[in-house]
Chain A
């Protein structure tokens, strides 16, 4: 494998991890807003239990995507920085408001409901805006004025394909997060909350698949080059659909837990669906190559200095190795420790 391919694969991986972790994070914010009146089921508490310790870590992943991109592909910074100024600024503002209010809502019980509302709504808007980065990199919405690339943001916002992307982002967010929260309430032994999140996932799955097809249609209409490449990877897409079917059906398998009278093996569902996304985004990522921003920047034209790449690569490897125990410890404390999971008193 060439250095450029290794580098872009690493970026792809960061994006993938962030898109899953971010979807779950933002979705959890939405659910905690939606079920705030549903006191008895503890659905809001479950969402908050998940969200409280994890949003900071999820946030580091978005920083990692940005930093990784301009470290590995500094040649793309000029174009990306220029065309993304407006949408990225809006995303930043929303993320800021949301993160701040998530934290505030722990300290100020009086404002809790308003605060959760703010974080819930911005939790849906952020994925919607974030995904617009993809159609922008497809090139159709960039023009060159006086030798400088410019984003035709207004045109993007009135194109129907933008809305296909947005629909997909929002439905993914809700689907993935309801799945994970179903699993989380399952291991926490919260049948009421589990029932609610399982139902949401059951509704969300087919909708999400539908929007995925709409998305491909949008790509077909807006970016022919990309569509042709994606179709070349039809094997990956097929695997993706297959894993969707497996994961989705796991919601209907017989429960392993005798105490819960509700069907489903949510842990398998989560794994199946994450693999579905892995294959689908691999197909998309492969098809996108060699372009970072079509047709202005390719992975070759944007690549960093080879010595810098090598230093970066090894420091990534070392840092990951050092951090793994930290992540494992975190996982054990928040995702497995029954003392944490069962204590459902709600925030402070």
Chain B
């Protein structure tokens, strides 16, 4: 393998690892905040217990999210120095402001975790809100750089030199707002569904005390409501994202849908795999006209196909599958929350049947998968560019060798951390079973 490929594999692995913790780091604070707010509204102690236990899990995840994010940030300079040189000249602002989002999040996270018993209820909610704001802001700001890579603005390249820099124009690049919304909504829905998974697993246990039943049901209901709302918002906004691709990165949309020929009434193909030789999507289900409609809300819209682009600028064709999987999971999860809602509404029962609980168990892992698919789709679909039509990935890569060895070291560390994280979480919650949380031991917040 050559060095550039190794660098891409290393960076992709780092991001793929970090994004799990980062996404949960954005999504779970929202859930904790919701539980705290419910507690103050209803004075139902169970919501406070949820907040406390989720915070504990969140602190452990943060212990991996922060260092892996630090790795991501430093590796960006180490592996893509050519790219970071442009970033430093043009789109430095989001990185810089992000530092302050990190400060905000870690200051108030420490305050919320280690000083919980000394804070007034009001300050607890303020601290938690600032944690949630800090986490969402850091996601939005890093997404800003990512959006800039797809829709660069605010500078020109003239014989290899950066000229005409306008840092704010770069910051408000055309892709920014839509992309940032998508990342935040999808993180909120993922945080909610991961908690839904955990509650569903608990509810599937055979011997449950009344307390356990009651708490996990409430947690499941809360997370299904929040997850449901944000999965709908994710889908609507994802639709807008696809329209942005139509406008700004047409070859990415063409590859995502396996469209070769430029045409009006372009069909949407679901499933199957893209075959460059026959220029079709094999074994896919074709819905005539739908792609044109999705791209611009009208059937006669002309959608550009891959054949209009030089072949060496085609994104890899497998992104069709990544895109399908992401959208498929998104729709499935909307349906799932609706079923949960209707079940509750129609039967008026507080409990779900086991088959439905099993589906809720799947929702968390599925949304995390969707996050991975979405990012790999988005980054890999931009290839061969690191900055769309301005700089190629190969140009920006480091020229130091030895990356293979580093890959082994980092991948080993990620694997190890993933295993230990799971062990520590299991150990903690085994040693602190739910029934110990009830009674006089809990923090008195009134």
Could you say which of A68, A93, A108, A312 contacts B93, with CB atoms under 8 Å apart?
A: A312
Contact flag A85-B84 (CB < 8 Å), given A108-B427, A311-B93: no
- Check if A96 sits within 8 Å of B109, measured CB to CB: no
Q: Is the CB of B102 within 8 A of A81?
A: no
B97 at the interface (CB under 8 A from A): yes
Please give, as numbers and ranges, the residues of chain B lying within 8 Å of A334 by CB-CB distance.
110, 114-115
Residue of A with least CB distance to B406: A89
Whether A70 pairs with B84 at a CB distance below 8 angstroms is yes
Could you mark each residue 382-420 of chain B with 1 if its beta carbon is under 8 Å from any beta carbon of chain A, else 0? 000000000000000011101100100110010001001
Distance A85 CA – B97 CA, assembled complex (angstroms)? 25
In the complex, what distance in Å separates the CA atom of A339 from the CA atom of B117?
Answer: 10
A335 CB to closest chain B CB (Å) equals: 12
CB–CB A57/B107 < 8 A: yes
A101 shortest CB reach to chain B, Å? 8
Selected from B115, B130, B168, the residue in CB contact (under 8 A) with A311 is: B168
The CB with the most chain A CB atoms within 10 A, among B111, B114, B421, is that of B114
A150 to B71, CA, bound (A): 21
Bound form: Cα–Cα A340–B116 in Å: 11
- A92 B81 Cβ-Cβ under 8 A: no
Using known A-B contacts A85-B398, A104-B424, A308-B90, determine if residue A96 contacts B406 with beta carbons closer than 8 Å.
no
Within 68-110 of B, Cβ neighbours of A (below 8 Å) are at: 68-71, 73-75, 77-79, 81-82, 84-90, 92-93, 95-100, 102-104, 106-110
B369 at the interface (CB under 8 A from A): no
Most buried by B among A53, A60, A62: A60
Please indicate which of the listed interface residues B75, B81, B103, B162 has the most CB atoms of chain A within 10 Å of its own CB: B103
- Inter-chain contacts of B420 with A (CB < 8 A): 100, 104
Given contacts A53-B110, A107-B56, contact A78 B67 (CB under 8 A): no
Given A108-B428, A337-B118; A63-B70 close (CB under 8 Å): yes
Q: Which of B59, B74, B82, B87 has the most CB of A within 10 A?
A: B74
Q: How far is the CA of A100 from the CA of B66 in the complex (A)?
A: 9
Interface residue A286 (Cβ < 8 Å from any Cβ of B): no
How many A residues have CB within 8 A of the partner chain? Answer: 69
Q: Are B103 and A326 in contact (CB under 8 A)?
A: yes
CA separation between A261 and B78, bound complex, in Å? Answer: 53
| Shortest CB distance A72–B (Å) | 8
- List chain B residues, Cβ under 8 A from A63: 69-70, 73, 99, 102
Q: Is the CB of A81 within 8 A of B99?
A: no
The answer to the question of B60 belonging to the interface, with a C-beta cut-off of 8 Å to chain A, is yes
| Interface residue stretch chosen among A202-210, A223-231, A233-241, A315-323 | A315-323
28 A-B contact pairs sorted by A residue (CB < 8 Å): A52-B110, A53-B111, A59-B66, A60-B103, A63-B99, A73-B88, A78-B81, A82-B81, A82-B400, A85-B79, A85-B398, A96-B70, A96-B413, A100-B64, A100-B417, A100-B421, A102-B63, A103-B64, A104-B60, A104-B424, A304-B89, A308-B93, A311-B92, A315-B96, A323-B104, A329-B107, A334-B115, A340-B118
Q: B77 is contacted by which of A77, A307, A308, A312 (Cβ under 8 Å)?
A: A77
Chain A residues whose CB sits within 8 angstroms of the CB of B425 once the complex forms: 107
**Contact, CB under 8 Å: A312 / B92:** yes
Q: Could you tell me the dominant secondary structure of chain B's interface residues?
A: helix
Bound CA span A219–B140, Å:
44
Partner of A315, one of B97, B115, B424: B97
Distance in angstroms from B81 CB to nearest chain A CB is: 4
A333 within 8 A of partner (CB): yes
Closest beta carbon of chain B to A344's beta carbon, Å: 14
B300 at the interface (CB under 8 A from A): no
Nearest chain A CB to B90 CB, angstrom units: 7
| B315-352 with Cβ < 8 A to chain A | none
Q: Mark B33-54, 1 if CB is under 8 A from A, else 0.
A: 0000000000000000000000
The yes or no answer to A305 lying at the interface (CB within 8 A) is yes
Question: Beta-carbon contacts of A101-118 to B below 8 Å, as 1s and 0s?
Answer: 011101111110000000
Distance in angstroms between the alpha carbons of A74 and B88 in the assembled complex = 5
**A11–B328 alpha-carbon span in the complex (Å):** 47
Binding site for A on B (CB under 8 A): 56, 59-60, 62-64, 66-71, 73-75, 77-79, 81-82, 84-90, 92-93, 95-100, 102-104, 106-111, 113-115, 118, 130, 162, 165-168, 398-400, 402-403, 406, 409-410, 413, 417, 420-421, 423-425, 427-428, 431
- Bound Cα distance from A75 to B73, whole angstroms: 17
Provide the bound-state CA to CA distance between A63 and B76, in Å: 12
Could you tell me if B82 and A78 are in contact, using CB atoms closer than 8 angstroms? yes
CB <8 Å contact, A60 and B165? no
Query: CB-CB < 8 A to B85: which residues of A?
Result: 70, 74-75, 77-78
- A88 adjacent to B78 (CB under 8 Å): yes
Residues in A whose Cβ lies below 8 Å from that of B86: 74
Near B by CB (< 8 A), chain A positions 293-320 give 304-305, 307-308, 311-312, 315-316, 319
**Taking the complex as formed, is A5 at the interface, i.e. its CB lies under 8 A from any CB of chain B?**
no
The residue from A83, A110, A339 contacting B427, defined by CB atoms under 8 A apart = A110
Contact yes or no, A96 B68, CB < 8 A: yes
Q: For A71, list chain B residues within 8 Å (CB).
A: 88, 92, 95-96
Contacts of B63 in A (CB 8 A): 99-100, 102-104
Residue interface bits A48-70, CB-to-B below 8 A is 1, else 0: 00001110110110111011101
Closest to A348 in B: B56
B410 contacts A89, C-beta separation under 8 Å: yes
> Given A75-B85, A329-B111, A322 and B100 touching (CB < 8 A)?
yes
Question: Which has the most chain B C-beta neighbours within 10 Å: A71, A93, A107?
Answer: A107
Within 8 A of B (CB), among A137-183: 148, 150-151
Interchain residue pairs A-B with the least CB separation, the first 8:
A74-B88, A103-B63, A81-B81, A56-B106, A71-B92, A53-B110, A96-B67, A319-B100
Decide yes or no whether A6 CB sits under 8 A from chain B.
no
Given known A-B contacts A308-B165, A333-B115, A92 and B74 have beta carbons under 8 A apart: yes
Q: How far is the CA of A81 from the CA of B403 in the complex (A)?
A: 13
CA distance A85 to B87 in the complex (A): 19
Cβ of A337 to closest chain B Cβ, rounded Å: 7
Q: Are A308 and B92 in contact (CB under 8 A)?
A: yes
Shortest Cβ gap from B407 to chain A (Å): 10
- By beta carbon, the residue of chain B nearest A57 is B106
For the complex, give the distance between the alpha carbons of A72 and B410 in Å: 28
- Whether B400 contacts A150 by the Cβ 8 Å rule is yes
Contacting A100 at CB < 8 Å: which of B67, B98, B115, B399? B67
Of the candidates A56, A68, A308, A316, the one whose C-beta lies within 8 Å of that of B110 is A56
